[in-house]
Structure 1
């Protein structure tokens, strides 16, 4: 069993972290620099978390009052944004400020204030069920020096304690559970990990309903034009080294002074991110419950084991979701046209991991490897005989845009004028929906928050052949799985 940190060490860590995360209310954006000149038109590619939140933030800034704003989204359904296979369209997403990185913990705390205090979180869109972050015992670092799940969990615990103190919550709202039996007793479920803690101030959101609410807020401004269509490539002016718009699959084009590439896991097919980000498919499963089972489980906290990556979110409407936050599947395919690279680079097309979803194949289910993993996780978290062999009502692949560190990319392209990139969510951007758009606009205006300047900046190309694996300690499972290989094993 892992030993707990002495309380004096906890308080020492919290005292060190508190100055960095003490301000939990959302600060108003700084006044723009006088040198900033807003573009006359902006095209946002993607109506997901980054795209919608950025669009709303733009409509709220006086500097962009005269700017025409267009959102292009690959949704095949007229008037539906984002597409039904977007990562943000789902029954539920975890809302937490439980981060090993103090900067993200602080920003997530600011987002949580919006989830709690604004209309976004009302009408069942946000539920503060509590959140158990846990892991299995083991070393604090992998062979390559990157943190393990238990290391991430313990750092998150210290940050959660510091946030509770700075927000005026009792420290008892963050309860240490140093063993499998305490974890099972407090959660009311099985012995699913060796060490963890309960944060009563975290929970989950109805993701699809929240995105619908956000879309309505953007649409009702009357400032944003929504277009259904798939961007095939970016239009450029080679002489000026400038991006001028996007060419759609139907052959039409949309021009703009500034293009914001915010297409989630589809972004690497438009912009060469081969040294920075990659699309990975994550497995989700849904099990139908009886009314009695719903009643027994609806009050449990969100449960996540960082060592395995497996998690369960409290059910609603008699559907239980079990999922895996892992290294994911890769799906390398040669794109129809090359993504935009460095000006003058005429390199041949190379395979890029690309999303493959239920919109590509209506009969798509996750590979047997994923089903087996979800089933094992379910048995460990909920060891109820009646659930062990109950078939999944449906399964789904959810596509992340992973970076090596889990940091986002929110920056101007260093080689092409008129191109801004907002992606790299790495499976943890949704909870920031209420605030991330403001941060993107800050970065557009040259005012990136100091604590994120190095984290979010465009990373220089080093070894483009190096595999991108998110080694921040938050992932479980096995890296490097190829989607087609996993499917072929059971054909």
Structure 2
């Protein structure tokens, strides 16, 4: 049986060739149990259209083992993720505003935001007075004009974000009074409360905060498990199975083959190793560092809001349990590798590119370190934002490369494949998807039903002809230097502390 869902008219950049009848698929296989995969599985169980559909989720980690699920090198597992409606793009700002209604529910232990899973500590958004960052060449054979392709500066992003959150909050006086402009470095320093500052202008939004990502994913898995509708398979997908026109399943590294009427690939930064994304999304590694702090330091820093500098990409989240995290939302490092098994080509008649940027983590390289360039930036954030005596030069207790699936515009890629029937792709998190945990699964299922929310129809569509030339995210929120290659940066200076 082939997957069959209603096909609506679309102004997308491609013509989808999936089967068009009114019957839902009898089986769905989801490759990946990260944010996109697991939220989709949960939402499928709650839609009447899929009452008789069997749902299988496959992941390289074993959901039945809390010690291995989620995989410790997945993007959706960490001590913290920022939850903010603070976007320069109004559609994403509104989507997070919707999600925050559920994050704020904390009355019952089973509520998503309860039991320390969500903290509304406030967020300081700032930008530097700097010139525009470098811009990649316009994509090959693209109809994107040079003027529309110009990248925002971090300050541009901050000011547009200020406008959007102010507009959203204006409907509720209680929320509106929790947002305040910070016109200079002194005002930022006063609100930050650590003795440090960052940026030339900004604002504080006390309606934003952060979530314990690991605990939230554990909560989500438990909701899925309790439905009794989803089968979990532990295994590494080696390639997608297909015939002349359709994807029919997935082949595992141990030789097993799983088949389904609809295959959804939601493998995060690993997606490009399974499906040739035509350069639309590229895996990039981002640096994170963790420090143990004293009881006295916890007392001071535990009261700070999150601070995010959109020009440098550097941010710090309030510590818990005497562990401080500092990170950089940057252009990141690519890790181009020649794959032994190429990804599914862009069409049944095409050849696939074997050179793909894929994540390199401590699970496949126990001695992996963060590059010196990245560590220096993390130290700069400590020096600028939290200049407590003895903290700036304190050794990191651990470091990590967190791998994004980056798109040029920071828009997600959530769509049917234009040339392979029965294949759906959900990736391109671009390092900002986790905050949408309460709502993104429903939006993905809407897309499966070909009812994508209008404001995201073009943003999330598969875009042909983009090419992979100099791809990096240009939405204005990134710091660091574009075009860095992980191996080249690791060779520049040896690190002592391995990443985890």
TM-score, normalised on structure 1?
0.90
Q: Distance in 2 between matches of 1:408 and 1:170?
A: 28
Match among 122, 125, 128 for residue 120 of structure 2: 128
Instruction: Tell whether 2:468 aligns with 1:475.
Output: no
Question: Which of 37, 44, 48 is the matching residue for 1:58?
Answer: 44
Question: Per-residue deviation at 1:336?
Answer: 2.2
Deviations 1:431-467 (A, max 9, x none): 00110000000010011001110000000124x2412
Cα RMSD for the two superposed structures:
1.6
Partner of 1:227: 233
Q: Please tell me whether residue 243 in structure 1 is matched to residue 273 in structure 2.
A: no
Q: Secondary structure at the match of 1:94?
A: strand
Partner residue, 2:458 = 454
Residue 191 (structure 1) shift: 2.2
Change (3 A) 1:237 1:307: same
List alignment gaps of at least 5 residues for structure 1.
Answer: 1-33
For residues 367-394 of structure 1, the C-alpha deviation after alignment (integer angstroms, 9 at most, x for no partner) is 1111111011110111122102110000
Q: For residue 8 of structure 2, what is the aligned residue in structure 1?
A: none
Q: How far does the alpha carbon of each residue in 1:203-255 deviate from its partner, in whole angstroms, 9 at most, with x for none?
A: 000000000110111011110011111111100011xx110000011111100
Match of 2:90 among 79, 99, 102: 102
2:160 is paired with a residue of what secondary structure?
A: helix
Match of 1:303 among 292, 302, 307: 307
Name the structure where helix makes up a greater proportion of residues: 1
3-state secondary structure, aligned to 1:286: strand
Distance, in Å, in 1 between the alignment partners of 2:320 and 2:474 is 32
Please list, as runs of the form range in 1=range in 2, the aligned pairs for 1:246-265 lying within 5 A after superposition: 246-265=250-269
Q: Secondary structure at the match of 1:385?
A: coil
Whole-angstrom CA distance in 2 between matches of 1:67 and 1:122? 32
Question: What is the CA-CA distance between 1:171 and the residue it aligns to?
Answer: 2.8
Q: How many residues align?
A: 455
Q: Which secondary structure state, in structure 1, belongs to the residue aligned with residue 174 of structure 2?
A: coil
Cα deviation for residue 287 of structure 1 reads: 0.4
**Aligned residue among 53, 77, 86 for 1:89:** 77
What is the CA–CA distance in structure 2 between the aligned matches of 1:78 and 1:126, rounded to whole Å? 25
Post-superposition offset of 1:361: 2.1
Structure 2 unaligned residues grouped into runs of 5+: 1-19, 136-148, 495-500
Highest relative contact order (Cα 8 Å, sep 6+), 1 or 2?
A: 2
- Quote how far apart the aligned CAs of 1:324 are: 0.2
2: CA distance, partners of 1:342 / 1:328: 25
Structure 1 segment 13-412 matched on structure 2, within 5 A:
36-75=22-61, 79=65, 80-117=68-105, 119-139=111-131, 145-189=150-194, 190-238=196-244, 241-347=245-351, 349-412=353-416
Offset from partner CA, 1:37-57 (integer Å, 9 cap, x none): 210000000000000100000
Further displaced range: 205-214 or 168-177: 168-177
Instruction: Rate the CA distance shift 1:479–1:302 in 2: closer, same or farther, 3 A.
Output: same
Whether the 8 Å contact between 1:47 and 1:81 is mirrored in structure 2 is no
Change (3 A) 1:445 1:102: same
The alignment partner of 1:69 has SS state of strand
Is the partner of 2:458 in helix, strand or coil? helix
Deviation at 1:75, TM superposition (A): 1.5
The structural deviation recorded for 1:349 is: 4.3
SS at match of 1:193: coil
CA separation of 1:348 and 1:124: change in aligned 2, threshold 3 A: closer
- Larger displacement relative to structure 2 (79-88 or 106-115): 79-88
Aligned to 1:120, what secondary structure does the other structure show?
A: coil
Once residues 124 and 400 of structure 1 are traced to their aligned partners in structure 2, the CA distance between those partners, rounded to angstroms, is 25
Task: Single out whichever of 163-172 and 439-448 deviates more from structure 2.
Answer: 163-172
CA distance in 2, matches of 1:214, 1:305: 30
Question: Which residue of 1 is the match for residue 12 of structure 2?
Answer: none
